[in-house]
Amino acid sequence: MSRLPLLSLLVFPLLALSLALYAQSSLATFATASPFGFKLPLAVSTFVTFVQAQIQAPFSTGQQNTDELSTHQSPEKVVDVESNGHADARAPYSRHIIAVGDIHGDFDNAQKVLQMAGVVDENNEWSGKVDVFVQTGDVIDRGDDTIDLFRWFDELREQAEAVGGIMLTHLGNHEIMNAIGDWRYVYPAEIESFGGVAARQKVLSSGWLGKAWATNYTVASRLPLHPSLGPPNTDYPPSNTSPHQKANTGPLSHAAFAFVHGGLAPTYPDLVPFPSAINNLGSSLLHKLRKRAPQPPPHPPNAYPGLPAGSTREEVRLYGSDGPLWYRGWAESEEAKICSQIDEVLQKTGTRRMIMGHTPNFEHVVSRCEGKAIIIDTGISHAYGGVLSALSITYNLIPVKGGGWKEQEIVKALYSEADDELVIEVERDLVEDLW
């Protein structure tokens, strides 16, 4: 405990008693007060004003949140509301996210990238230095380290969860190609690493890798930058019964990023609710692929098996050229065209930026429309020989003395052999209630 809250307990026992009800949020705010201009020793009057502001802040939030509390305020009730997901209502919040694009069977380069970005330590274990690690798909093909890579990700996910970290992993078009039996980009040495074609088919369908894809990989993600918006993949628009409904319709509603392998096309019909509309189709398609018995003989040398006979139109569209796994419009179309289209997609999906892999640029991360579309596939696999890169996102939400918040987003491209590049930095002043 720092000296400032200790002082408050000694000098203001009565205030401290009432404050005890909000111990977590109030003390957290005190402890971090110095960056906002408070210096020891504090003038007593300033201090009392500050304490009063802290006591009032949770009340006003509670009042706005729940009509039934507005007439009979009691501290206990307010604490209930506050502890219901908003215990740190006025505390500063910060989150650090690292995203990495296509890895394509190259464990060595993947490990260099994750170490460089601080996701893992020198033993390739979760470092705890980042809050969220995102990979946007295409871990498989063009290299022979598939088993090592996916096993490593399984371990990292458990290490992350053990310390409150989050790993968001995605299916790329190459994962689905492999599940289909479209093995055009599978190295012979990689098939051998599984013990042959039949063994590989089994691992990808009913085996550990097919299960991992079905359980822990999605086609798209919506990652809220602030916890008031809910955990990863909280849908937008929110349902009326969602506990995060209010925050997701307030000033922070779009403080979230979309992650997907190819892109969310303006013409794609199943964008919302985002991301569950897409991910439900991804799950049902993957389920049908994994249940095919027998698994079709892979192409080549056999004929391209295509999607299972019972696939729905929506599932076929998901895997189509304007579907989230294959779309390249944000990477390849002219700026004038895409920048007039992207706002609508971001608006619909409750996001500020869309982060994608799939279309490589071997020199750098590509930012388009002022960072609304960011393409992070730099061909890091030795199959391509592009630069080793990662995207770093830092989000800060800082309470402003006297009310309101300052919100910061800093997005940078990190390179193993070049200086960091600032992709976009935005600051916003928020004056309304946030949740």
Instruction: Name residues contacting ligand NAG, limited to 172-191 (CB under 6 A).
Output: none
* Segment interacting with ligand NAG (CB under 6 A) among 14-22, 59-67, 210-218, 409-417: 210-218
Strand partners of residue 258: 222, 354
Nearer to ligand NAG, 179 or 434 (CB): 179
Site for ligand NAG in 107-166 (CB under 6 A): 154, 157-158, 161
Residues in contact with ligand NAG, shown as a per-residue x/- string from 216 to 245 under the rule CB under 6 A: x-----------------------------
Least distance in angstroms from the C-beta of 167 to ligand NAG: 8
Residue 69 within binding range of ligand NAG, rule CB under 6 A: no
123, 215, 240, 241: which one contacts ligand NAG (CB under 6 A)? Answer: 215
Closer to ligand NAG by CB, 218 or 378: give it.
218
55, 58, 77, 182, 370 from 23: Cα distances, Å = 11, 12, 15, 58, 41
Question: Cβ closer to ligand NAG: 187 or 208?
Answer: 208
Shortest CB 211 distance to ligand NAG, Å: 4
Residue nearest to ligand NAG as judged by C-beta position: 212
User: What is the radius of gyration, based on Cα positions, of the chain?
Assistant: 24
Least Cβ distance, residue 216 to ligand NAG (angstroms): 4
Nearer to ligand NAG, 154 or 314 (CB): 154
Nearer to ligand NAG, 48 or 212 (CB): 212
Number of residues that bind ligand NAG (CB under 6 A): 8
Positions in the binding site for ligand NAG (CB under 6 A): 154, 157-158, 161, 211-212, 215-216
